[in-house]
Structure 1
Amino acid sequence: MTGSFPSQHHGELYILAGVTASGKSNAALEWACSNDAEILSCDSISFYKGMDIGSAKPTFEERKRVPHYGIDLFEVRDPCDVGRYAEYAQRKVGEIISRGCKVLVVGGSGFYLQSFFSSMVDQVEIEDSVREQVDDLFNSLGLVGLLQRLRSLNPDGLGELDVLNPRRVIRALERCLASGKNLATLKQEFDSLPKSFPNFKKKVLWLNREDSDLVQRIEERTRKMLERGLLDETRTLLKLGLAFNPAASSSIGYREAVSCLQGNVPECELNQLINASTRKLVSKQRKWFRKHLGEKSHLVLNHGQELEGTDLL
């Protein structure tokens, strides 16, 4: 796969990002309906079949109103990485453009959103033996074991790596082992690669809300997830191999539900734990969006405000 988008495609990419519970999904649906657009999801959990309640996927009725892509791509035991998503996104953008429609990218997963701005994928090939080695280490020693091994390969530090995110740590360790290089060198090489979608003008907006408003919306979101059967959904996903997918099993909502089902967390505390984890995620999202998308594309919504389709981008 090449590092940039095929030169025959050009135009505009509309990108609507936003912190969790900001209202971006509804805003995206209304904008797409008003602007002859199709939606490409950039949510790292919506990729997986069966992870419906915890990811707040669009309903089938909403998908009938506007075509959605990037949803239900993989079985839950089949981990997706940014390279696989980037290849999929590259293909889908071309298909949507060829139909004469606009492309609206929607999501809150900064790691995957970045694939629309920087190089699609790095040049490191990961052999199956390396993946198995890292998986075995994670299964036997957990995140602590991964970090110990990764730090031994990077004595000068791990840079900006999110060391609490198993998916990021796994990806970093795989690339260090496969390439024989440290993270600093790999980052330098990655930054020098051709940028993705070079012929596309990108129109970006990221949504935010005041803390008091967002706290209420997060609590309402969590309440609905639990009422709709998050625990039962998680129980089914575990039977389908959720535990073999570190990124999916550690995602907010499912991580806490797994702990509850394993007897580590009382069900009466589940709501509170998910709310707390979601607030921490929002803090990380804000930092990423400010750094990578900037303040010019930042919109803070008032309490109770919902955007209409004509208000965006």
Structure 2
Amino acid sequence: MLISGVCGGGGIRAWLKEKPLLRQFARRRRLFATSCSVASSKKEKVIVISGPTGAGKSRLALELAKRLNGEIISADSVQVYRGLDIGSAKPSSSDRKEVPHHLIDILHPCEDYSVGKFFEDARHATKDVLKKGRVPIVTGGTGLYLRWFIYGKPDVPKASPEIIAEVNSELADLQRDGDWYAAVEFVVKAGDPKARSLAANDWYRLRRSLEIIKSTGSPPSAFQIPFDSFREHSDSSETDHSYERNSSAGASDTNPKDLDYDFMCFFLSSHRLDLYRSIDLRCEDMLPGSDGILSEAAWLLDEGLLPNSNSATRAIGYRQAMEYLLRCRQQGGTSSTGEFYAFLAEFQKASRNFAKRQLTWFRNERIYHWLNAARPLENVLNYIITAYHDSTGALVVPDYLQMRRDSSSSREVSELKSYRTRNRHFISRGDCCNILDWIKRTQGETCELREPIIV
């Protein structure tokens, strides 16, 4: 009677809106209950660090591993490939000697790698690290890899060897002829209209779609992804507790008691203008020298691979570099200054667009706590280490470390619209002479020797 009299027709939520102290108390009670349930389950902790390209997540993970006796599990779809070191910003050999790394240099670039294979490999590596009494630190920016790693993979049955052979036979001629669109329509007619949305020349996923149809009679979309059920729970939870919402970096409840590990997920980012400038300079830094991304792209071409033909050659940077060098080879190993700068601009633009897609993806991943990459590394490290040793399980990001996950301010949006790249190394015509000389020396049709890449 008392509550109904106070609340009137609005209910207790409306009443709590008008009572900030009681609202805060209710929130703390819910956090305490959640923390207790997580702590009581005594799950093993797994740290996940992600962020857009160029944000500094690899450096953060490395320093964190040193202080927590950890090992790093890469969640990068390009670092799995041998020989693709510069373009994937792969950890140096000295870093990998100091801290053990997993899922790096495990494949030749001619091999495909899938999110399902990553799930199995990363989960196996996690168990191995925990058995040694060390801390698993999963880091990378491939969103789908991390989503499956945390929430699980769809319960789609594996195809039999007979079905795999049948699918390979049906698509072999089309793949050999490079007739991607005919292959897509073949799979669409078999029962998967969403095959049209696949990235061009993603033959692995196209074959997998046909295998699933032949094995189950249903397309891949018929099988629920575990993440979807968690998202539905999170959405309903936010509706039930809408009065507690805020736009800070704190992650919302994602029903952690249903996950098999105590995942501590952090997303390291910065304001988009600063991020874009960092990315542009990073692309420049990958070019100079005989062991830069152009040299790695030349090796891919020498291996008989074409740009955008498989997982490795679709990667940002490698695709653009391979297309550029392919044109240079067709021109007898020559390139104009304008062609080089056009390639560099395309490389930078593709990298910025990729970072933008990463921000959009992880903005919808509510389990992540967003951290400001512009803050001193020591402060970020101390916060994560303290949170790791906190037995309550309640993660609250301090205000000075928070990075808002929502859209940019109107001023930043205006500045982004007028954004222009400002190069540091390549400004005038003469700045690319060494690279053009290298192309002439190594990419001509008559060149018998090319500068080798040790794999």
> Which residue of 2 is the match for residue 116 of structure 1?
149
- The residue that corresponds to 2:369 in the other structure is 297
Tell me how far apart the structure 2 counterparts of residues 168 and 78 of structure 1 sit (CA, whole Å): 10
- The whole-number CA distance in structure 2 between the counterparts of 1:210 and 1:191 is 29
Amino acid in structure 2 at the alignment position of 1:263: R
1:149 shift after superposition: 3.5
* 2:84 maps to which of 45, 48, 51: 51
Distance in 2 (alpha carbons) for counterparts of 1:219 and 1:208: 16
Are residues 1:140 and 2:177 paired?
Answer: yes
Name whichever structure is richer in helix by fraction. 2
* Match of residue 221 from structure 2: 184
Tell me if 1:258 matches 2:287: no
Q: What code does the residue aligned with 2:359 have? A: R
Which residue does the alignment assign to 2:403?
Answer: none
| Paired letter, 1:80 | Y
Contact preservation (8 Å) 1:17, 1:108: yes
Deviation track 1:225-269 (CA, whole Å, cap 9, x = no partner) reads 112421111111222354496111111001001111221893331
Higher relative contact order (CA 8 A, sep 6+): 1
Q: Distance in 2 between matches of 1:201 and 1:52?
A: 32
Partners of 1:111 and 1:295 in 2: CA distance: 14
Distance 1:131-1:297 versus aligned 2 partners, 3 A rule: farther
Partner of 1:271: 344
1:98 to 2:135 alignment:
no
Compute the displacement of 1:214 (Å): 0.8
CA contact (8 A) 1:46 1:70 kept: yes
Q: TM-score, normalised by structure 2?
A: 0.59
Aligned CA distance change for structure 1 residues 185 and 19 (closer, same or farther; 3 Å): same
2:382 partner amino acid: T
Distance 1:226 1:78 in 2: 25
Q: Is residue 207–residue 301 contact of structure 1 (8 Å, CA) maintained in 2?
A: yes
C-alpha separation in 1, matches of 2:356 and 2:180: 22
Distance 1:140 1:59, change over 3 A: same
Aligned counterpart in structure 2 of residue 248 of structure 1, from 303, 307, 312: 312
2:233 equivalent to 1:170: no
The amino acid that maps onto 2:299 is T
Matched residues in 2 for 1:86 and 1:189: separation? 13
Partners of 2:90 and 2:228 lie apart in 1 by 33
Once the two structures are superposed, the pairs formed by residues 20-59 of structure 1 within 5 Å of their partners are 20-59=53-92
Unaligned stretches of 5+ residues in structure 2: 1-41, 230-255, 329-334, 388-455
1:5 — aligned with what?
Answer: none
Whether 2:308 is the aligned partner of 1:236: answer no
Name the CA distance, whole Å, in 2 between partners of 1:182 and 1:107.
Answer: 29
The residue aligned with 2:421 is none
Aligned-residue offset at 1:282:
1.3
Residue 73 of structure 1 is matched in structure 2 by 106
Alpha-carbon spacing, 1:219–1:165, altered in 2? closer, same or farther (3 Å): farther
Task: Output the TM-score relative to the length of structure 1.
Answer: 0.83
How far is the alpha carbon of 1:139 from its aligned partner? 4.4
- Unmatched segments (≥5 aa) in structure 1: 1-8
Residue 183 of structure 1: how far off its partner (Å) = 3.6
Larger proportion of strand: 1
Q: Classify 1:240/1:296 alpha carbon distance in 2 versus 1 (closer, same or farther; 3 Å).
A: closer
Is the Cα–Cα contact under 8 Å of residues 48 and 76 in structure 1 kept in the other structure?
yes
Aligned residue for 1:226, secondary structure, equals coil
Does residue 307 of structure 1 match 2:377? yes
Deviates more, 1:9-18 or 1:158-167: 158-167
Q: How many angstroms apart in 2 are the aligned matches of 1:208 and 1:188?
A: 27
Q: 2:167 aligns with which of 130, 137, 140?
A: 130
Give the letter aligned to residue 279 of structure 1.
R
Aligned length: 298
Distance change >3 Å, CA 99–CA 129, structure 1 → 2:
same
**SS of the residue aligned with 1:246?**
coil
| Range with bigger deviation, 96-105 or 114-123 | 114-123
> How far has the Cα of 1:270 moved from its partner?
1.6
Any idea what SS the aligned residue of 2:151 has? coil
Contact 1:127 1:178 in 2 (8 A): no
Match for residue 288 of structure 1 among 336, 354, 361:
361
* Residue in 1 that maps onto 2:276: 215
Q: Structure 1 residues 50 and 102, CA, compared in 2 at 3 Å: closer, same or farther?
A: same
- RMSD (Å), alpha carbons: 3.1
Preserved CA contact (<8 Å) 1:31 1:310: no
- Secondary structure (helix, strand or coil) at the match of 2:322 reads helix
